[in-house]
Amino acid sequence: MKNNGLAFVLVTTVAIAIVGAGLSVFFSRFINLSGTFGDTAPMSASNALPQAAPLQEPTTAITYSPPSPQDAPPSIKEAVLLGYNLLMETGKYAPDNVGNKLSCTNCHFKGGITQGGKNGGLSLVGVGATYPQYRKRQDYAVDLVTRTNDCFKRSMNGRPLPEESKEMTAIVTYYQWISKGLPVYAEIPWLGTQPLQSTHVPDKTKGEQLYGAKCSACHGKNGEGTAAAPPLWGDDSFNDGAGMHKPVNMSAFAHLNMPLGNPDLTVEDALDVADFVASQPRPHFSAK
């Protein structure tokens, strides 16, 4: 009996050892397949699951080819044309919202249908594809309605258009129509201007002399404007909250576009003139 009992114990011990070894191999394979288990290390490169290839941004050539307002489809043509007219003759088409003698086209030449750059003013082709957009002024993303009303309040020294008004709808429809075909949130190379790169310290005295020689014939001796060009200061011009009131913006614009049709201001000239014009009296912007 003692020998039989001893044999039973030996057989049982061997069996347990064999089963334990098998379970150890099984769980070690499970651990390797699952990547981590408890405090074990993650999968090695040799047994890692395959990763999806990163998505590649499509490369689309950005070309300047805005459609004509006249070519808008019948369903939006009336709105597109009204939007164009609002930019060309802002005071005529939105008299209750304009507080000076400016129109949008004074900065956005030809209603914004230009390629910007030399002689092109500030283009609007593409804004319909790049807004909403972050603006430092609001420290938040703003849409085209907010951006447009900023101009009415500051550049036009007026009042914002009601957001759902016929006029605002027309302007936004116009933006989107002339931006037709441009990829959404692409880098549109002709939008905006870049600050002038110079170590020149602006000189108001030289700026005043340059203004008299190159600008006053169109903008008036005292910045009051003429039939040829808008006022640059005084009650009929943009207020001190407008982007163009900042010399960094005005100088870049003047360098590329002034005198109109034959821009020949050097970088230093543009900095001097902008500093002089920005120092002249104009309406004060109130956020109320």
Q: What is the pLDDT of residues 55-73, one digit of tens each?
A: 555 556 899 999 999 999 9
CA-wise closest residue to 114 among 23, 8, 9, 190 = 190
Cis bond upstream, residue 132 (ω within 30): yes
Structural domains in the chain? 62-191 (1.10.760.10), 193-288 (1.10.760.10)
Are 194 and 122 a contacting pair, CB within 8 Å? no
Are 79 and 173 a contacting pair, CB within 8 Å? yes
**Choice between 61 and 82, residue whose per-residue pLDDT is larger:** 82
**Choice between 110 and 34, residue whose per-residue pLDDT is larger:** 110
Are 135 and 147 a contacting pair, CB within 8 Å? yes
Q: Residue 254: CB partners within 8 Å, gap ≥ 6?
A: 263, 265, 270, 273, 274
pLDDT band (50, 70, 90) for residue 49: very low
Task: Give CA separation, 90 vs 87, 101, 152, 191, 245, in Å.
Answer: 5, 9, 10, 22, 20
Task: Give CA separation, 165 vs 117, 168, 172, 253, 281, in Å.
Answer: 32, 5, 11, 31, 33
Report how far residue 196's alpha carbon sits from residue 90's, in angstroms, rounded to the nearest whole number.
Answer: 30
pLDDT attached to residue 92: 98
pLDDT attached to residue 229: 98
Greatest Cα pair distance in the chain: 129
Q: What is the pLDDT of residues 147-192, one digit of tens each?
A: 999 999 999 999 999 999 999 999 999 999 999 999 999 999 999 9
